[in-house]
């Protein structure tokens, strides 16, 4: 079935460093890839997304890249801050689905001052 794998499961960085989280998906027809941030005890919130017709998208300190051939997409956070500490989930929209999202298992990011 459809599957999204996410790595690493935990990531620890120093404030100001960059963080990279990687995901791979199994359905080659997937066409939409959102990233959600979930702080402890709170709801997931969309932080950035990318569609299959572009290779990269940036929003201030956050960027996402997509390699359709490799079925691989990544989240890049630059100049990390303590408030970036959270669990990050990647997801893929399954082709033919009604915006049904398949999520990765999550990456717990800790940014140390």
Tokens of 79: 């100049």
| Alpha-carbon distances of 50 from 1, 38, 55, 73, rounded to whole Å | 22, 19, 8, 9
Binding region for another protein (CB under 8 A) out of 55-63, 64-72, 76-84, 89-97: 89-97
Query: What is the nearest approach in angstroms of another protein to the Cβ of residue 93?
Result: 5
Query: What is the nearest approach in angstroms of another protein to the Cβ of residue 33?
Result: 9
Tokens of 108: 């717990």
Here's the x/- map for another protein, 49-88, by CB under 8 A: it reads as x-x-------------------------------------
Task: Compute how many other C-beta atoms are within 10 angstroms of the C-beta atom of residue 68.
Answer: 14
Binding region for another protein (CB under 8 A) out of 56-64, 66-74, 75-83, 94-102: 94-102
Question: With binding defined as CB under 8 A, does residue 26 bind another protein?
Answer: no
Query: Is the CB of residue 109 less than 8 Å from the CB of residue 9?
Result: no
Tokens of 28: 């080659």
Distance CA 43, CA 8 (A): 21
The binding site for another protein (CB under 8 A) comprises 4, 6, 31-32, 34, 36, 42-46, 49, 51, 89, 91, 93, 97-106
């Amino acid at each position: 079935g459809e599957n999204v794998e996410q790595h690493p499961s935990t990531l620890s960085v120093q404030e100001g460093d960059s963080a990279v989280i990687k995901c791979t998906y199994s359905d080659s027809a997937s066409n939409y890839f959102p990233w959600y941030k979930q702080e402890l005890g709170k709801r997931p919130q969309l932080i950035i997304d990318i569609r299959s017709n572009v290779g990269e998208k940036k929003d201030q300190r956050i960027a996402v890249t997509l390699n359709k051939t490799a079925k691989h997409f990544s989240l890049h956070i630059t100049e990390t801050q303590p408030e970036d500490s959270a669990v990050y989930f990647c997801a893929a929209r399954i082709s033919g689905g009604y915006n049904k999202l398949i999520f990765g298992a999550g990456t717990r990011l800790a940014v140390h001052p």
